[in-house]
Amino acid sequence: MESAEIARRFLRFFEERGHTIVPSASLIAEDPTLLLVNAGMVPFKPYFLGQRKPPYPRAASVQKVVRTLDIDEVGKTTRHASFFQMLGNFSFGDYFKSEAIPFAWELLTRSEADGGFGFPEDRLWVTVYLDDDEAADIWHKKVGLPEERIQRRGLADNYWHMGVPGPGGPCSEIYYDRGPEYGKEGGPVADENRYLEVWNNVFMQFQLSAVRSKVDFDVAGELPAKCVDTGMGLERMAAILQGVDNIYEIDTTYKILSRAAELTGSRYGRDRHADVSLRVIADHMRAGVMLVGDGVLPSNEGRGYVLRRMLRRTIRNLRLLGAGDERYMHELTATTIDVMSTLYPELKSSAPNIHAVIDAEEASFLGTLRTGTAIFDVAVQEAKRRGEGVLSGAKAFQLHDTYGFPIDLTLEMASEQGLKVDEEGFRRLMQEQRERAKADAAAKKTGNADISVFGQILDRAGKVDFIGYDYTEAESEVIGILVDGASVPAASEGATVEVVLNRTPFYAEGGGQLADQGVIRTDGAVVEVVDVQSPVDGVIVHRGKVRTGELRVGDGAHAEIDVERRRAISRSHTATHLIHRGFRNALGESAAQAGSENSPGRFRFDFTAMGAVPQSVLRDVEDEVNSVLVNDLKVNAFYTSQEEARAMGALALFGEKYGDEVRIVEVGDYSRELCGGTHVASSGQLGLIKVLSESSIGAGVRRVEALVGVDAFRFLARESVLVSQLSEQLKVRREELPERIHGIVSRLRAAEKELERLRSAQVLAVAGELVAGAKDVNGVSVVTHRVPDGTTADDLRKLALDVRGRFPADRPAVVVLAGVPAERPVVVAAVNGAGRERGLAAGRLVGVAAKALGGGGGGKDDVAQGGGTRVEAIDDALRAVEQAVGAQGA
């Protein structure tokens, strides 16, 4: 039975039993305490916590999940995975144990012909919590399971909570006996390799007041509404129903693994090390494609770092399989999209964007590997020079943390050089980094308490009516006031408040569009609104300050936005749509929006691209878009279904989430996008768009910044004045300016090079005099000299090496020069071979001089450089060097 069919049967079974089928939420968690969705129940967490009223009493879903705690173990075993899918049915105060347990049993044991999974009843075992007699009785008396196949377990195995105060309760898990060839008899308590968990029923029935650990918490009492949260791993079910040994051999994962083996000339099952690499590739490709599909972009922090780490582990393991610098990620991405799109068809439409991001990350990391290899080679040479057989943990950590160099690659390359790596030191530094990250995460852990009050307002008063598409002011009523996150009945003058109205013209920040600003007036107060947000779907919160009077819940209110600001922002938003379309026309459909910000008169647009956009393309896009403005195309907005929107070819923003009903914004026949923002009535109202710059903001993502409307006109006016001034000063026509300026700059650069050559020659001219004036200090020729201020550090070094080279090879020589290139003194020391044989080292001599200068320095034995802060101590520093040579020579 294919994975997609398993999911369909599960959803159909529960839909027939009154469950609302909820599509998988994005992997980008709305919960501020989570980077990524790590459990099937996460999208329903506000309902379980009582922060939001559930819109349905029972639900079922197939939820995408990413867990990274065991990422280093992925591939080493066949049990660990970073990406998987959870099938779950949920009850929010509706049904409980007596229905949830029979539901699970019926679906598992019903024949395949009747829509079930066809598990033999005599191969199923269950576990219940130690004192959960109710669940045990249901299993035995209602379901008919023999008592000997019902086992009781403690808190560590059969009790669930969120790790914070809130709901919790006992679990009842169902296990499938794979047979004696997989382990010993005795049920799950004896061997969980033979007895494989397939379903977990969580019964939330208690309110936990304090949670200190998994097994240490306080129970305040029973929940007023008992809930059910179940989970069944799709991959694990597929392994059983497809008759394979593990999740890497099921239909979806194995197709990716096989493609990786084909590309690299490997064969799964022949070599243990190759098998590990193939499993890493298969797992991480699924995770990577799904993350990028949900709008995550590679970066060095947060969820972007999780994605980057997975993609780079994939590339690294391809290299271990012999890929070298060959680029195979595009092929593997295509295979993954093909495999996963059966359940997630949106991957097909996002394919160009996904390819662009992953291809760019591959190119970037292959470059990183080259850089990291160069750094590694230097570290190896240094270790060998010192006679050390171990590469330090600090160096391995630097390669990993700064250059993205995987530790397994460092270990392999060190071994090839006959070196070991201080793995313990590396692991210690990694653990310290994890503990810092864990402490940061713990500091952010709020249990979603910050949104619960908005959920209560929503439940009490219903959705806020947004009328801002048609009106800029409205009569309304104050239905909620918050001060410092707490709900209050009133707020006095000077208070910083969050105000909720039952209807509002204020647009809440979203989709790249900045929030409206304006004023809320009641009979007794004036509130200046500086920001508007929607922390909970259906609730619009106006943030600002009570300027006069007292604001009270229940007051009638007049809400009025800053119209000029709105118009300027709307121009920017419409301009973003046009620029998006323009870049797609110029670069192809892979140039997908990856972010934006629409400010008054100015906007930025981020999009996926493999490299820099040529200036000629930028000009063409700008010209094309401004032609649309001249044609004054009508801007139209309307609502339709997602299916109809796709059929019309409307663009959905990369990584955005949409409901069943979507709003489409059209600019004539030129642009059509899903969008909830505000726009102008026709393209001519934009006036003009001027692109200012294009740059990289990360692997595979470019950013364009531009002006629109009056701001664009003002910019061009200033540029015109500047061009006129240059034209007048240089006595040439405007069109001749580029050539004239190019000529001036070329001559200036040539003059600077000649000046540099003359200055260097002048500095080096004194080399003969310095050699002739060398002092004999205990048989060592010593030159100490202060060069004229302004001599560059580079020239100082050249002079020192030139002077050193003029001494006979068998005559020990030390050259120490000092100067002030800018405001701080610099000292350079050079020692020839004969001098080094006498035990003299440039690094130590520079250290002596730098100490006298109030600074530091060092380097190799033959040449070194340092500096300090005390210009007045240069002569003392040079004398200190002579004394040090005398002491060494003696």
Do 154 and 131 contact (CB within 8 A), yes or no?
no
Residue in 365, 384, 350, 249 with CA at minimum distance from that of residue 309: 365
Average pLDDT for residues 300-307, to the nearest whole number?
Answer: 83
Residue 773 confidence class, pLDDT cut points 50, 70, 90: confident
Is position 675 annotated in a ligand binding site?
yes
Taking 50 as the threshold, does the pLDDT of residue 7 lie above it?
A: yes
Residue 878 confidence class, pLDDT cut points 50, 70, 90: very high
Taking 70 as the threshold, does the pLDDT of residue 449 lie above it?
A: no
Q: Which residue has the tokens 């990786």?
A: 260
Q: Which residue has the tokens 């609502």?
A: 639
Q: Is the dihedral of CA 385, 386, 390, 391 positive or negative?
A: negative
Residue 816 confidence class, pLDDT cut points 50, 70, 90: very high
Q: What is the pLDDT of residue 668?
A: 93
In the chain, pLDDT over 70 holds for what percent of residues?
Answer: 96
In the chain, pLDDT over 90 holds for what percent of residues?
Answer: 50
Q: What is the pLDDT of residue 197?
A: 92
Rounded CA-CA distance 217/214 in Å is 8
Residue 567 confidence class, pLDDT cut points 50, 70, 90: very high
From the CB of residue 704, how many other CB atoms can be counted at a distance below 10 Å?
A: 24
| Burial (0-12, 13-18, 19+ Cβ within 10 Å), 431 | exposed
Q: Identify the top-confidence range among 249-253, 425-429, 766-770.
A: 249-253
Rounded CA-CA distance 888/568 in Å is 75
Which CA distances in Å does 355 have to 49, 292, 343, 347, 724?
Answer: 39, 9, 19, 11, 46
Taking 50 as the threshold, does the pLDDT of residue 455 lie above it?
A: yes
Q: Is the dihedral of CA 346, 92, 204, 188 positive or negative?
A: negative
Taking 70 as the threshold, does the pLDDT of residue 149 lie above it?
A: yes
Strands 420-421 and 390-391: parallel
From the CB of residue 166, how many other CB atoms can be counted at a distance below 10 Å?
A: 21
Do 216 and 204 contact (CB within 8 A), yes or no?
no
Amino acid at 668: G
Identify the residue with better confidence: 803 or 30. Answer: 803
Residues 6+ apart with CB under 8 A from 340: 252, 286, 289, 290, 347
Domain range list for the chain: 3-243, 248-366, 451-561, 570-707, 766-889
Looking at the DSSP bridge assignments, the partners of residue 65 are 84
Q: What is the pLDDT of residue 445?
A: 38
Task: Specify the DSSP element, H or E, that contains 218.
Answer: strand 216-233
pLDDT, tens digit, 9 for 90 and up, residues 692-726: 999 988 777 889 999 999 999 999 888 888 888 88
Strands 496-501 and 539-549: antiparallel
Taking 70 as the threshold, does the pLDDT of residue 190 lie above it?
A: yes
Is position 227 annotated in a ligand binding site?
no
Strands 593-599 and 525-536: unpaired
C-alpha 702: how far from chain center = 16
Which CA distances in Å does 686 have to 563, 625, 709, 722?
Answer: 16, 11, 5, 25
Give the CATH number of domain 3-243.
Answer: 3.30.930.10
Rounded CA-CA distance 145/140 in Å is 5
Taking 60 as the threshold, does the pLDDT of residue 446 lie above it?
A: no
Residue in 309, 245, 240, 253 with CA at minimum distance from that of residue 279: 253
Rounded CA-CA distance 742/730 in Å is 12
From the CB of residue 614, how many other CB atoms can be counted at a distance below 10 Å?
A: 11
Q: Mean pLDDT over all residues of the chain? A: 88
Alpha helices in 588-709 (DSSP H): 615-630, 642-648
- Return the CA Rg of the chain: 35
Residue 581 confidence class, pLDDT cut points 50, 70, 90: very high
Class of the CATH domain delimited by 766-889: alpha beta
pLDDT, tens digit, 9 for 90 and up, residues 8-46: 999 999 999 999 999 999 998 777 677 888 888 888 888
Candidates 3.40.50.280, 1.25.40.80, 2.40.30.130, 1.10.3720.10; correct CATH number of 451-561? 2.40.30.130
Give the CATH number of domain 570-707.
Answer: 3.30.980.10
Do 400 and 406 contact (CB within 8 A), yes or no?
yes
Q: Is the dihedral of CA 424, 430, 436, 442 positive or negative?
A: negative
Tokens found for residue 105: 């049993």
Mapped onto helix, strand or coil, the DSSP state of residue 834 is helix
Do 411 and 397 contact (CB within 8 A), yes or no?
no
Is position 679 annotated in a ligand binding site?
yes
Residue 423 confidence class, pLDDT cut points 50, 70, 90: confident
In eight-state DSSP terms, residue 555 is -
pLDDT, tens digit, 9 for 90 and up, residues 343-398: 999 898 888 889 988 998 898 888 777 777 777 888 888 888 788 888 888 888 88
Tokens found for residue 290: 């799904």
pLDDT, tens digit, 9 for 90 and up, residues 75-121: 787 777 899 999 999 999 999 999 999 999 999 999 999 999 999 99
Rounded CA-CA distance 641/84 in Å is 29
Residue 442 confidence class, pLDDT cut points 50, 70, 90: very low
CA dihedral 45, 48, 50, 53 (to 10 degrees): 80
Looking at the DSSP bridge assignments, the partners of residue 88 are 61
From the CB of residue 165, how many other CB atoms can be counted at a distance below 10 Å?
A: 18
Tokens found for residue 414: 């060190």
Query: DSSP for 142-153?
Result: II---GGGEEEE
Rounded CA-CA distance 544/520 in Å is 10
pLDDT, tens digit, 9 for 90 and up, residues 478-529: 999 999 888 899 999 999 999 999 999 999 998 889 999 999 999 999 999 9
Is position 573 annotated in a ligand binding site?
yes
Any idea which of 219-223, 580-584, 679-683 has the lowest mean pLDDT?
219-223
Rounded CA-CA distance 816/829 in Å is 4
Task: Specify the DSSP element, H or E, that contains 702.
Answer: strand 701-708
